[in-house]
Amino acid sequence: MTRHSSFAPVIAAGARVLILGSMPGVASLAAKQYYAHPQNQFWRIIERICGVPHTLPYPARLEGLTSSHLALWDVLESCVRPGSLDSAIEHGSAVPNALTRLLRAHPEIRRLCCNGATSYRLVQRFFAAELVRDFPRLECLRLPSTSPAHAGMRLEDKVLAWRQALQVGGRGARRSGAAPAARPNVRVRVRGG
């Protein structure tokens, strides 16, 4: 079976929140773009929170993301996975990205936002002990997946959870004039993991 490899991180100086997926799906790998599947709600959620239109060309969307102090990467560097579902990742084939090295290079990052349960579980599996030991102020939140496979939650509810999570210390992706949202009920700290 084919081994799939993820993309380089999208990050700029001043990033305060790192959004972590698990591994790009088939559509994203083919397009060489994060969240390229047309039914994935990621870019629509970012549009609602950051004001970056999901219809912009991909490089412009990435620029809008980084100018909002957000960064983007995946937990896994590579894995064997038939299809796009996270549940199809062959457990023993998973190789993590160098997450802690990235965090040391960007000490302004104060929060990891895991896009779905699999991303969160992979962070716990590969990095929990090191994050607790070396990054005691870092939060790790599990957010509702933007994947089309996670259709049981309304887009509005996902936007509320994501909007709150992308705020760090009064800064972050909040669009001016937008009301603060209630705390997402999926908030989990690494050190409690």
Could you say which of 40, 97, 115, 185 is catalytic?
A: 40
Active site residue 185: no
**155: Cβ–Cβ under 8 A, 6 or more apart, which residues?**
41, 44, 45
Task: Tokens for 57, please give them.
Answer: 């060309």
Would you please indicate which residues are annotated as catalytic (active-site) residues? Answer: 40
